[in-house]
Homo-oligomer: A and B are copies of this chain.
Amino acid sequence: MNGLTRAEYAILGWLAVRPMSGYDLKHQIDGSIAFFWNEGFSTIYPALKRLSEANLISEVVTDDDGHPSRRVWKTTALGNRELSQWVSQPYSPTHTRNELLLKVFFGAFVERDVVRAQVESYRAEHVRLLQQLEEICQQVRARQATDDGAVYRRMTSDLGLKVFRATIAWCDDVLREIDDLEGG
């Protein structure tokens, strides 16, 4: 049966990288691609169910080391084909909804300091995100020597780095400009 959701493809892809549980998936996603993709548990578990019903993934029997409820999944041959087919198809456009930008856009309707505070939060957030991503990047770089796929995974992180740095630079520009507004 065809027509998986994006969430399902994301999960299928991760299981092709390495077999793991729903819980692992959540933490892998949060800990590496969170800046351009996220999933909640309530998406993951139903997705695993659907994927296994479609024979795209199968459960791995684990010598459960004291974790009785843990269920590990891996992709099937069919699943791998489905994945590579999806990767080959045209990507659908990204529609972002950036609330911070919208608030800046309507900045004229509030006090100058209000916009300033919002942009400072945004800057602080991105400084934090950048730090996290730099750590991730180092880890993936270390794995590049042995793991083929790690090259592609590192590339995506590189875009994150570029975008976060650009965003922080933008915040600095804006903060400076706001301070200079008619306040000579």
Contact = CB atoms under 8 A, between A and B. Distances in A.
Given A36-B96, A36-B98, A99-B92, A104 B6 contact: no
A128 to B, nearest CB: 12
Chain A, interface size: which category?
35 or more
Contacts of A104: 152, 155-156
Contacts of A125: 93
Interface in A32-84: 33, 35-38, 80, 83-84
A94 B125 CA distance: 11
A166 interface: yes
Contact of A33 (B102, B149, B156): B102
A167 interface: yes
A23 interface: no
B158 A13 contact: no
Q: How many copies does the complex hold?
A: 2
A102 B166 contact: no
B96 A96 contact: yes
Interface of A: 6, 9-10, 13, 16-17, 33, 35-38, 80, 83-84, 86-88, 90-110, 114-115, 118, 121-122, 125, 148-149, 151-153, 155-156, 158-159, 162-163, 165-167, 169-170, 173-174, 177, 181
9 contacts: A6-B102, A10-B102, A84-B110, A87-B110, A91-B99, A91-B100, A94-B98, A109-B149, A155-B173
Give the 7 A-B residue pairs with the shortest CB-CB distance, closest first: A108-B149, A107-B152, A36-B98, A13-B106, A162-B166, A91-B100, A91-B99
